[in-house]
């Protein structure tokens, strides 16, 4: 991280939220913070002092993996003048889905099926180079599927096995995805409570 007087002025009126990282780099036009794989460039609050011109929005958001690529055909970006809008954008799960769709559109080869990101990685991951495979894997890990409390799963026993219903499947191991290929966080992925997760420990071994 490189701090210059100009960078300090750019963020002087802001408070970095918990969990965000300062990833400012001295050769950039302005400072930047990152969160959940999103890279947020923060220009000066006074438009007349902005490095990229006073017509530019103060905040520019893109995926960290796209920073410096210069290729925005399939990039997921967002510009605004309000930091509260930035926070809302990076916390909106639909924008992660949009980033996933854009990533797959950019990397897919002719004949590849349109699949969910986890299925796409399983089907075609070995045909990607290491950097692209890691980029897709990192994005997959950032998804937060936690539903609203009103839609929490009901855990019950059937035929002597503890589980719950999820998208047409009866899940008996909340620590793996429906297909059994990926480790998941049962609270975030399935929306279980900590108490429900405890019920599964040692239950179906």
Eight-state DSSP code of residue 146: P
Q: In what order do the strands lie in the sheet with 21-22?
A: 21-22, 32-35, 38-42, 59-63, 77-80
pLDDT of residue 183: 82
Q: How many domains in the chain?
A: 3
Question: Are 42 and 74 within one domain?
Answer: yes
Question: Are 22 and 63 within one domain?
Answer: yes
**What is the Cα–Cα distance from 122 to 117, expressed in whole angstroms?**
9
Look at residues 44, 59, 81 and tell me which one is the last residue of a structural domain. 81
Note whether residue 174 is domain-resident: yes
Question: Are 153 and 133 within one domain?
Answer: no
pLDDT of residue 54: 86
Compute CA distances 168 → 120, 165, 178, 197, whole Å: 20, 7, 10, 20
pLDDT at 151 over 60: no
Q: Which domain holds residue 15?
A: 5-81
Note whether residue 88 is domain-resident: no
The pLDDT tens digits of the residues spanning 160-179 come to 899 998 878 899 999 888 88
Q: How much of the chain, in percent, has pLDDT values that exceed 90?
A: 38
């Amino acid at each position: 991280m490189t701090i210059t007087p100009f960078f300090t002025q750019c963020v002087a009126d802001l408070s970095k939220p918990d969990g965000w990282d300062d990833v400012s780099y001295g050769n950039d036009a302005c400072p930047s913070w990152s969160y959940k794989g999103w890279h947020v460039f923060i220009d000066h609050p006074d438009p007349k002092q902005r490095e990229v011109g006073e017509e530019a929005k103060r905040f520019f958001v893109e995926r960290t993996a796209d920073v410096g690529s210069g290729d925005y055909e399939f990039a997921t970006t967002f510009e605004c003048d309000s930091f509260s809008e930035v926070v809302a954008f990076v916390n909106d799960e639909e924008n992660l889905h949009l980033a996933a769709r854009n990533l797959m559109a950019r990397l897919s080869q002719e004949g590849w099926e349109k699949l969910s990101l986890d299925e796409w990685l399983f089907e075609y991951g070995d045909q990607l180079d290491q950097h692209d495979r890691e980029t897709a894997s990192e994005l997959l890990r950032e998804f937060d599927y936690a539903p609203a409390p009103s839609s929490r799963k009901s855990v019950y026993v059937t035929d002597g096995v503890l589980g719950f219903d999820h998208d047409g499947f009866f899940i008996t191991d909340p620590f793996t995805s429906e297909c059994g290929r990926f480790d998941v966080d049962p609270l975030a992925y399935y929306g279980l409570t900590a108490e429900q997760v405890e019920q599964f420990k040692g239950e179906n071994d």
